[in-house]
Structure 1
Amino acid sequence: MDYNLNREQKSSAGAALRKMFRFMKGEQASLLVAFFVMMLNAAITMLAPYLIGYIVDHFILKKQYGPLMQYSALLLGLYVVWAGTEYFQAKLMGGVGQRMLYILRNEVFNKLQQLPVAFFNRNRSGDLISRINNDTDTVNQFFSQSLMRFMDSIFSMVGVAVFVLSIHWELGAASLVPAVFILLFVLLVSPWVKKKNAVSLKANGSLSADIQEGLHNFKTIIAFNRRDYFRKRFAKVNEENYKTSVTAGIANNLFTPVFGFFSNIAQLIVLAFGIYLIIEGQFTLGLLISFMSYVQLFYRPLRELAALWASFQTALAAWDRISVILSLESDLKVVDQNQTTITASGSVVAFKDVSFRYPDGKEVLHHISFDMKPGKTYALVGPTGGGKSTTAALIARLYDPTEGVVLLNGRDIRSYTNEERTKEIGFILQEPFLFTGTLRENILYGNPELGRMDNDQLLKAIADAGLDDLLARFEKGLDTPLNASADTVSLGQKQLIAFIRAVLRNPKVMILDEATANIDTVTEKLLEAILKRLPKETTLIIIAHRLNTIENADEIFFVNAGEVIPAGTLDHAMDMLLNQKMAS
């Protein structure tokens, strides 16, 4: 599966609109009311110029002021109704747009939750945030504000065209000729406008990504006194964003002067032709005034459509960026258990002729095979970049092997659902992630059984697991506030929390990927004691560079250059590591 979001996504306007309307299910009643209100507005818009022309010919020129006041009051009433319905329509579509935005953001975010680690390795989080936040809002703005105005303008223009052709078809046809040139211009320029908006949105996403990465790593930037690098990098992406935004702005505003020019040409045509018809006795002054009003009503929406069409092109570009995410599917599919491989009993984890390569990268593991037994402790040692963490990631099914099969309890690991697999396997990373909230919320994450416990039951479960001493290290216990984006707790404390979270799951396989790297020796001894209290059948897989962490392992595997080789004793493993360093 290609998880690169920067690939070009092309979709026709009609196809894009059909997919967008999928997120407006349940809004049929609101859309129907809005459509009715729009038709009422169009009818008022059509009727008003005709009444003005009628008033001029029958009352003003004949100086009949009584009927003039009555018709003027009628016009005022129509305008009041028009204003009220416009407000109601805007309020109605605003609600529809916000509900659509809510559904769309939920679907995009839920889709991201289904995608594998490989997707997030290839895409920057800042750009993903921009797609979830900015691009969805762009689509919402079009639906809540622009779409009804767009449709309203179309109905008004069609109504005006019918009126002017029915009043005087020759003058009406002449007044509509410039609209043909506008249509040709739109068809020619729209793809270019959409492309410029897509480039601008991509640059905006890159800007968000650079800001997010810079702020996230700002401590390192300060430590190395490289604010200048951050400034230069930001200035570069900001300048790129500025240039693409200016280009997109020029493209979006190109429609307005062109539409305005042809609108003025149309009014000149009507004025010249209309005066000629009056001289010939074929037309009246009132009808000419009505006609001029109708031409303005026809081309004024066209000028609005210039801005609305630019908004539509921006929304289409934003939708393309969103639909790339929505079209993705995880390549970590659950396969049928009956079609999977079965290994000999007695192994909790087994690799059978496994090879693996990262996307667009070299092969990390080459046809490796090994078994891990229940209740044993295994250590993976080797040089940095040798494939230790990759091996652990395959055991946890963060990735699938390129070739071969990984087995868990004698079953192809691909046959386990996500819930089944995560219940069997605990994974403590070197840099654990915490959620903003409380310590309680963080250790309950992904553990529905603990989630059903009250406070006393949870504290007892923690004590039974031997974790109460770790909990005591937090001043407010389970109510300790945590902030994922701030240093409210140290990295060592974060690892303690991740440790508590994993141990409480009682997994059959526990993977510790440098999980004690940022913990003091005293705490590490405490963690070792807790690990010894795990059920006898729990298999420990430890990746560590500290000798005391792996010295009690039942078996040590040396991982390097794509090979996983049984190393026997700790001394033998250290000799292999030393020889590898000397050889390199």
Structure 2
Amino acid sequence: MNYNINQLSGQQQKTSSLKAVKKLYSLIAHEKRNLIIALIAILVNSSLQLVGPLLIGHAVDAYVTTKQYNGVLMIGGILLAMYLLALGTSYMQTKLMGSVGQRTLFTLRNALFNKLQELPIAFFNQNKAGDLISRLNNDTDKINQFFSQSLMQFIGSIVTMTGAGVFLLAINIELGAATLLPALLILIFTMMVSPWVKRKNATNLKSVGSMSAEIQESLNNFRVIIAFNRRDYFLKRFNDANHQNYNTAIGAGMANNVFLPVYGLFSSLAQLIVLALGIYLISTGSFTIGLLVSYLAYAVNFYNPLRQLAALWTSFQVAMAGWDRISQILSLQSNLTDRSTGETTALHKPGLAFQNVSFAYPNGSEILHHVSFDLLPGKTYALVGPTGGGKTTTASLIARLYDPTHGTVFLNGRDIRTYSAEERAKKISFILQEPILFTGTVKDNLLYGNEQLLKYNNEELEEVIKESHLQKLLSVFEQGLDTPVSASGESISLGQKQLIAFMRAVLRNPEILILDEASANIDTVTEHLLTEILDQLPEQTTRVIIAHRLNTIEKADEIFFVNSGNVIPAGSLDHAVEMLMQGKRAS
């Protein structure tokens, strides 16, 4: 299955505005009460703003022209009270929507992160971490900004425009129609330009993600850059990514600002129409000065929100572009689905078995071809073969990091897909070539994912370590369980990282323990100690060892030669060495 979110088809990547709005609403459906209150506040605010021009026009005709200044003061007091109330409602909806936006951001990031946790390793192999981080941080924040800052302004502007349009037509339908004519041109322009604006913002968000990915990758590999003195290479790649982001940002900026001047032009045109026709109507005696003042105010109340909508529509397009990138991930489904049945198959004994297993990575050639073999409980098995022969892939299938393209992997006679992730993790431990640790202490990393020991204090945990014959490995660390560990690995050596990973796996008491080059970065004495610990594991524990140093597999009960898509019993160690040499010469 292709999980590369940057290579999805155009149909998969695009979301219509209506569908996007529906999906976005589903994120804030639980905020319905707050949304209704904010909407009422907006309606009250807009209504008060719309009544104002009518009162001003009435004051001009009834009190100013007749010099009844008491009436002017009375209208002024009413207007002051209205505008203060409008200020209060505006503050209320701003506060409510700010809270809604932050809760939406929290919900969306949780949903996105939870979805990332559900996806298989194949997804992370096909997508850059920096781009995923950008989607989780930057793109979700664009949606938050729309909810907290733009949504109610958007609704308020539409309500104000609609009300102003109704007043314009009610006061004089011919003049109102002429005044609203530029709005029709604005609508046509917006419909034509909006898809282009969205594409420009989507391209910019993608380039931000690419630049984030480039920075993350370069910083992770900075030691190599320094060792080979290739700062120039680092700088060139960053400059290329930065230049691309600059160009897309310029394009997005131009697209985002194209609405405002156009809307301003048509707004000015509408006011000229009002003045010209209004003065003409006054000259014919069918219009009053007060009505013209009110009419101009309503024209402003119609076109000013329309100009605000230019900026708000841009914010909506940015949010939609961000939502497209987020929804690409939320719509993915893991291909590692658990099967409901857990019945035992009589064809297989306890332990692990491959039955006619084939495997290929996405968009790649087949690595394993119709492989079948059995691993019995309590035995030690070694996988040897040339680099790239498929040893790690075979081990990954044993641990169900991937599912076979064809065939079935059985664990204790059951299809391994019938086990839940929790059951499988308890039964199988995998020590990777490059151990992954988390910032904290040695204790934190040893207890990671081990619910049985999670509440143990240091003394209790040290007793368990002693019973597992791991105390000599713990003594390597100066502060024991409290030795600080950083995710970057600067605080401890690579060999010490492998020791922590080894201890973490053994403490889980797994039925199957997979060691992928687990002794590659440790000294010979410590390697011998690891061998002794492996010999003291429970009798039912099956050990699967991948190693290039043949002395680490001398005591293996059975050796498999893995190469060219096949897993073949190699017999003795000498025979395995001979097959390995032949494989290297053939490659």
Letter aligned with residue 96 of structure 1? V
Summarize the alignment of residues 331-370 of structure 1 with structure 2, pairs less than 5 Å apart: 331-337=335-341, 341-346=345-350, 348-370=351-373
Letter aligned with residue 76 of structure 1? L
Which residue of structure 1 lines up, in the alignment, with residue 429 of structure 2?
A: 426
Summarize the alignment of residues 162-201 of structure 1 with structure 2, pairs less than 5 Å apart: 162-201=166-205
Q: Is the contact made by 2:395 and 2:514 (CA closer than 8 Å) also made in structure 1?
A: yes
Aligned partners of 1:55 and 1:448: how far apart in 2? 76
Q: How has the CA–CA distance of structure 1 residues 146 and 361 changed in structure 2, closer, same or farther, with 3 Å as cutoff?
A: same
Letter aligned with residue 225 of structure 1? N
Summarize the alignment of residues 538-549 of structure 1 with structure 2, pairs less than 5 Å apart: 538-549=541-552
Moved over 6 A (4+): none
Aligned partners of 1:477 and 1:76: how far apart in 2? 72
Q: Secondary structure at the match of 1:337?
A: coil
Structure 1 position 557, deviation (Å)? 0.7
Which residue of structure 2 lines up, in the alignment, with residue 297 of structure 1?
A: 301
Q: Is the contact made by 1:340 and 1:415 (CA closer than 8 Å) also made in structure 2?
A: no
1:531 paired with 2:534, answer yes
Aligned partners of 1:112 and 1:523: how far apart in 2? 37
Q: Is the contact made by 1:378 and 1:553 (CA closer than 8 Å) also made in structure 2?
A: yes
Letter aligned with residue 173 of structure 1? A
Which residue of structure 1 lines up, in the alignment, with residue 399 of structure 2?
A: 396
Which of 92, 99, 105 is the aligned partner of 1:95?
99
Summarize the alignment of residues 253-402 of structure 1 with structure 2, pairs less than 5 Å apart: 253-337=257-341, 341-346=345-350, 348-402=351-405
Aligned partners of 2:244 and 2:515: how far apart in 1? 43
Structure 1 position 455, deviation (Å)? 3.4
Which residue of structure 1 lines up, in the alignment, with residue 506 of structure 2?
A: 503
Aligned partners of 1:65 and 1:159: how far apart in 2? 29
Structure 1 position 308, deviation (Å)? 0.7
Partner deviation per Cα, 1:464-496 (whole Å, 9 max, x = no partner) = 111222222222222222221351111111111
Q: Is the contact made by 1:337 and 1:411 (CA closer than 8 Å) also made in structure 2?
A: no
Q: Is the contact made by 1:125 and 1:209 (CA closer than 8 Å) also made in structure 2?
A: yes
Structure 1 position 218, deviation (Å)? 0.5
Aligned partners of 2:172 and 2:340: how far apart in 1? 72
Q: Secondary structure at the match of 1:434?
A: coil
Aligned partners of 1:471 and 1:60: how far apart in 2? 92
Which residue of structure 2 lines up, in the alignment, with residue 159 of structure 1?
A: 163
Structure 1 position 23, deviation (Å)? 1.4
Structure 1 position 367, deviation (Å)? 1.0
Q: Is the contact made by 2:56 and 2:290 (CA closer than 8 Å) also made in structure 1?
A: yes
Which of 58, 66, 76 is the aligned partner of 1:72?
76
Q: Is the contact made by 2:342 and 2:414 (CA closer than 8 Å) also made in structure 1?
A: no
Which residue of structure 1 lines up, in the alignment, with residue 562 of structure 2?
A: 559
Aligned partners of 1:341 and 1:145: how far apart in 2? 59
| Unpaired runs of at least 5, structure 1 | none
Which of 226, 233, 237 is the aligned partner of 1:233?
237
TM-score, normalised to structure 2, is 0.97
RMSD of aligned alpha carbons: 1.3
1:469 paired with 2:472, answer yes
TM-score, normalised to structure 1, is 0.98
Aligned length: 583
Structure 1 position 70, deviation (Å)? 2.3
Q: How has the CA–CA distance of structure 1 residues 338 and 521 changed in structure 2, closer, same or farther, with 3 Å as cutoff?
A: closer
Aligned partners of 1:260 and 1:244: how far apart in 2? 26
Q: Is the contact made by 2:513 and 2:544 (CA closer than 8 Å) also made in structure 1?
A: yes
Q: Is the contact made by 1:342 and 1:412 (CA closer than 8 Å) also made in structure 2?
A: no
Aligned partners of 2:443 and 2:369: how far apart in 1? 42
Which residue of structure 2 lines up, in the alignment, with residue 20 of structure 1?
A: 24
Partner deviation per Cα, 1:488-536 (whole Å, 9 max, x = no partner) = 1111111111111111100010000011101111211221122122101
Which residue of structure 2 lines up, in the alignment, with residue 2 of structure 1?
A: 2
Q: Is the contact made by 1:38 and 1:152 (CA closer than 8 Å) also made in structure 2?
A: yes
Letter aligned with residue 148 of structure 1? M
Letter aligned with residue 189 of structure 1? V
1:220 paired with 2:229, answer no
Partner deviation per Cα, 1:434-462 (whole Å, 9 max, x = no partner) = 11222222111111111133433222211
Structure 1 position 117, deviation (Å)? 0.6
Sequence identity of aligned pairs in percent? 60
Structure 1 position 399, deviation (Å)? 0.7
Letter aligned with residue 493 of structure 1? Q
Aligned partners of 1:490 and 1:435: how far apart in 2? 14
Aligned partners of 2:566 and 2:224: how far apart in 1? 34
Q: Is the contact made by 1:343 and 1:411 (CA closer than 8 Å) also made in structure 2?
A: no
Structure 1 position 395, deviation (Å)? 0.4
Q: Is the contact made by 2:353 and 2:374 (CA closer than 8 Å) also made in structure 1?
A: yes
Q: Secondary structure at the match of 1:559?
A: strand
Q: Secondary structure at the match of 2:30?
A: coil
| Unpaired runs of at least 5, structure 2 | none
Aligned partners of 2:487 and 2:583: how far apart in 1? 39
Between 193-202 and 63-72, the greater mean CA deviation after superposition: 63-72
Q: How has the CA–CA distance of structure 1 residues 228 and 340 changed in structure 2, closer, same or farther, with 3 Å as cutoff?
A: farther
Summarize the alignment of residues 428-447 of structure 1 with structure 2, pairs less than 5 Å apart: 428-447=431-450
Which of 127, 133, 138 is the aligned partner of 1:129?
133
1:144 paired with 2:148, answer yes
Aligned partners of 1:539 and 1:100: how far apart in 2? 48
Aligned partners of 2:479 and 2:64: how far apart in 1? 84
Aligned partners of 2:220 and 2:366: how far apart in 1? 31
Aligned partners of 2:70 and 2:576: how far apart in 1? 109
Letter aligned with residue 501 of structure 1? R
Q: How has the CA–CA distance of structure 1 residues 477 and 291 changed in structure 2, closer, same or farther, with 3 Å as cutoff?
A: same
Aligned partners of 1:338 and 1:425: how far apart in 2? 17
Aligned partners of 1:581 and 1:437: how far apart in 2? 42
Q: Is the contact made by 1:467 and 1:530 (CA closer than 8 Å) also made in structure 2?
A: yes
